[in-house]
Amino acid sequence: MYGKIISFILAICLFSSNAFSQNFFIPSEIKTAVSNGTRSLDGNPGKEYWQNKSEYSITAEVNSYTKELKGKENIIYHNLSPNDLKIIVIRLYQDFSKPGKSRDWEIDERNLGKGVTVSKLTINNTQIDLQSKDVSRPGTNLVVNLNNLIIRAGENAAINCEWSFVIPNDFPRMGAYDSTSYMVAYWYPQIAVFDDYNGWDMNEHKGQVEFYNDMSDFDVSIKTDRPNMCVWATGLLQNPEEIFKDDVLKKYNDGRNGAAIFEVDCSLLNKDNSITKNSGNNIWRFKAASVPDFAFALSDHYIWRMKEIKTAEGFHTNLNTAFRPGANSLKYDVFTIAEKTLEYLSAEMPAVPYPYPSMTVFNGEGGMEFPMMVNDGDSETWESFVYVTSHEITHSYFPFFMGTNETKYGWMDEGWAVYLPENFQTNMERFAPDNAKKDDSRTDSRAYIVQAYLKNAGTFNDIPMLAPSNQLRSLSYRHNAYSKPALVYDILKDMLGEELFLKTLKEYISRWNHKHPTPYDFFFTVNDYTNKDLNWFWTKWFMQYGVPDLAITAAVVTEGKIEIRIKNKGGMPVPVVITLIGEDGKETVYNKTAEVWKDTDETSFTFDISGKIKNVRLGNKYIPDVFPDDNFL
């Protein structure tokens, strides 16, 4: 007890130190976590950091005629916290489609369903009366008051559940895309996060914002009801020898070992079943360790390609693509796009080897990420495939490897998924096929992000990024989660320099992978590793209203010199790029980082000149400015 009092006093002293006295806002939850020793002001996980986890053993059966999924699961829930848990919260995401549920958008009444039917739930061998007053189903959660079944600190709980639901046609990010092709996600009763700064995550899923899950282990068996179904999933297939005929198994193993591409037309199963051993049901078993979720997909007529590829020195992964026959994704070779994406992320940005043993790109609708899987819709242009595939695969790092809370801080994953593949997308021509259909709007991803940001910059939709994502409506949410943070990361890189920025990003990933970093763990890590007080930067871009809006207020020419005076009218720190244009048309460019705005909103720069200056230009296409008309003299 004495030690805790001393720790609390030290934390209070730290919070009142000079580093945190310049109007730098820190929420009470973060202050409490630092006082408790689970987080720290230097950005490292605290000495008392803890995190709960689950081990899922699941069997699922999909009826491809009725689209009903039935499942049974045994969960070992590890309460590694110092708290006794008096309730347990279980996610039932498919309740999103039930009539009367709160949703961020309307869905077709024909796609409304009954949600999840839970037929049995036991906790530590005690059956739970699902109709009792101790059980409630608010939103997409099932909450059980544990009474005498309290899960004590440091103990495990055995949870068993049986459930069913009908795979919907119109569930955001997953569903049935034709009569026998499904992307199955958010499909099993899942233990919600109980963390060190919020306790139980009681947020319900309404469609717009995404998810927050603990790192867990999965052992999943998926039973198909006819032989003509191929299955892809998070993790690695454990029993190919039980599924494939001998000649196909040899080709599969060659692919898994990187000797050759394994390619199968799953529609052959409909004809003579020359692929699988069984004439009836098949059970496909997958395992995945330390991932925040599990998804799978099925089809009886997709084209499947698979090969082990090298992502970095000493690192390999099994890459799969599964696309409907005739899709543009086959014509434009999305397998190669995915392969190049994994190589780029592993070697260039963030230069951290792809952390999982497999990746599958499935041809469904839209674009969505899952651990070791992405869901890609079809597209008319090759560039669009590059963009959506590289974006979704980048999510392997954020939020999956890093365990961020997408529900509250969308910019902590979407912003990185926009920013990290930026150079890859801009330089995509280096591996473009001859038949690529061009999309000029995607040829300069960095400039594209700036223009996307400017569409809402300075409007009522432009909310400080620290505002919880689940409290924002669509335009504000997308603005804050995608283009705005990507832009800010680019400004930060310019300010730190590319080498230090990359080292800092890798340090952040090293400290917080497989954990649950908050925005402040990111802020404090950058401050600590760079040995810079960037609280002024975090405050302006993440906590305050404002816009990037620079203006030239004067240009004073003296003999051999020119002084350019600039005002930051909008308050947001952005780089300063000044171009001097001589009478001969020659341009001289000067660059200053956003750090010039740390302590002032007005500054000036003096440059040596030879000859007369015809024009002065401020900014370029990579620096946002909501009112560029005053950027010229």
- pLDDT tens for 384-423 read 999 999 999 999 999 999 999 999 999 999 999 999 999 9
User: Tokens at residue 348, please?
Assistant: 């260039």
Quick one: which H or E segment has residue 127? strand 126-127
Summary count for the chain: helices (H), strands (E) = 16, 30
Average pLDDT of the residues in 522-538: 98
536 assigned to some structural domain: yes
Average pLDDT of the residues in 565-592: 95
Q: Are 121 and 161 in contact (CB under 8 A)?
A: yes
Secondary structure (3-state) at 227: coil
Is there a single domain that holds both residue 510 and residue 565? no
Q: What would the DSSP string read from start to end of 585-598?
A: S-EEEEEE-GGGGS
- In terms of DSSP bridges, do strands 53-62 and 216-224 run parallel, antiparallel, or are they unpaired? parallel
Give the chain's mean pLDDT. 92
Secondary structure (3-state) at 283: strand
Is there a single domain that holds both residue 555 and residue 511? no
145 assigned to some structural domain: no
Report cis status (omega within 30 of 0) of the bond before 399.
yes
For the cut 50, the answer to whether the pLDDT of residue 12 exceeds it is no
Q: What is the pLDDT of residue 90?
A: 98
Average pLDDT of the residues in 196-214: 95
User: Tokens at residue 232, please?
Assistant: 């892809």
Distance from C-alpha of 266 to C-alpha of 323, rounded to nearest angstrom: 10
Q: What is the pLDDT of residue 22?
A: 53
Q: Are 533 and 633 in contact (CB under 8 A)?
A: no
Q: Which residue has the tokens 């008319």?
A: 380
Q: Are 353 and 329 in contact (CB under 8 A)?
A: no
Please give the angle made by the CA atoms of 471, 473 and 479, to the nearest 5 degrees: 100
pTM tops 0.85: yes
For the cut 70, the answer to whether the pLDDT of residue 279 exceeds it is no
44 assigned to some structural domain: no
Give the model confidence (pLDDT) of 132-175 as tens digits: 999 999 999 999 999 999 999 999 999 999 999 999 987 789 99
Helix segments in 292-420, DSSP class H? 328-331, 334-347, 382-394, 414-419
User: Tokens at residue 245, please?
Assistant: 């005929």
Which of 489, 513, 543 represents a domain boundary (last residue)? 543
pLDDT band at 10 (very low <50, low <70, confident <90, very high): very low
Q: What is the pLDDT of residue 242?
A: 94
Average pLDDT of the residues in 20-44: 91
Average pLDDT of the residues in 322-330: 89
25 assigned to some structural domain: yes
479 assigned to some structural domain: yes
Report cis status (omega within 30 of 0) of the bond before 350.
yes
Q: What is the pLDDT of residue 108?
A: 77
Q: Are 210 and 410 in contact (CB under 8 A)?
A: yes
598 assigned to some structural domain: yes
Q: Provide, rounded to the nearest whole percent, the portion of the chain with pLDDT above 70.
A: 94
Is there a single domain that holds both residue 512 and residue 569? no
Is there a single domain that holds both residue 531 and residue 617? no
Is there a single domain that holds both residue 516 and residue 561? no
Q: How far apart are the first and last CA of the chain?
A: 67
Give me the number of domains the chain comprises: 3
Is there a single domain that holds both residue 499 and residue 563? no
The residue range of the domain holding 580 is 550-630
Is there a single domain that holds both residue 536 and residue 572? no
620 assigned to some structural domain: yes
Q: What is the pLDDT of residue 16?
A: 44
Average pLDDT of the residues in 51-77: 96
Is there a single domain that holds both residue 560 and residue 585? yes
For the cut 70, the answer to whether the pLDDT of residue 14 exceeds it is no
Give the model confidence (pLDDT) of 502-514 as tens digits: 999 999 999 999 9
Q: Provide, rounded to the nearest whole percent, the portion of the chain with pLDDT above 90.
A: 80
Give the model confidence (pLDDT) of 603-630 as tens digits: 999 999 888 899 999 999 999 999 999 9
Distance from C-alpha of 122 to C-alpha of 386, rounded to nearest angstrom: 46
- In terms of DSSP bridges, do strands 576-582 and 587-592 run parallel, antiparallel, or are they unpaired? antiparallel
Is there a single domain that holds both residue 536 and residue 477? yes
Give the model confidence (pLDDT) of 81-102 as tens digits: 999 999 999 999 999 988 888 8
pLDDT band at 329 (very low <50, low <70, confident <90, very high): confident
Is there a single domain that holds both residue 450 and residue 533? yes
| CA neighbor of 175 nearest in space, from 297, 326, 327 | 297
Q: What is the pLDDT of residue 427?
A: 86
Q: What is the pLDDT of residue 83?
A: 98
For 248, phi and psi rounded to 5 degrees? -70, -40
Distance from C-alpha of 462 to C-alpha of 443, rounded to nearest angstrom: 26
208 vs 439, which has greater pLDDT? 208
Q: What is the pLDDT of residue 40?
A: 98
Q: What is the pLDDT of residue 443?
A: 73
Amino acid (one-letter) located at 26: I
Q: Are 385 and 337 in contact (CB under 8 A)?
A: yes
610 assigned to some structural domain: yes
pLDDT band at 584 (very low <50, low <70, confident <90, very high): confident
Is there a single domain that holds both residue 508 and residue 557? no
Q: What is the pLDDT of residue 148?
A: 94
| CA count, 13 A, side-chain hemisphere, 520 | 20
pLDDT band at 348 (very low <50, low <70, confident <90, very high): very high
Distance from C-alpha of 176 to C-alpha of 116, rounded to nearest angstrom: 17
Average pLDDT of the residues in 340-363: 97
Which of 515, 543, 571 represents a domain boundary (last residue)? 543
Distance from C-alpha of 587 to C-alpha of 227, rounded to nearest angstrom: 68
Q: What is the pLDDT of residue 276?
A: 81
Distance from C-alpha of 71 to C-alpha of 114, rounded to nearest angstrom: 16
For the cut 70, the answer to whether the pLDDT of residue 6 exceeds it is no
| Cα distances (angstroms) measured from residue 373 to each of 25, 47, 179, 464 | 37, 34, 21, 32
Distance from C-alpha of 299 to C-alpha of 405, rounded to nearest angstrom: 32
Distance from C-alpha of 493 to C-alpha of 491, rounded to nearest angstrom: 5
| CA neighbor of 80 nearest in space, from 188, 179, 153, 166 | 153
For the cut 90, the answer to whether the pLDDT of residue 437 exceeds it is no
pLDDT band at 271 (very low <50, low <70, confident <90, very high): low
User: Tokens at residue 289, please?
Assistant: 């360790």
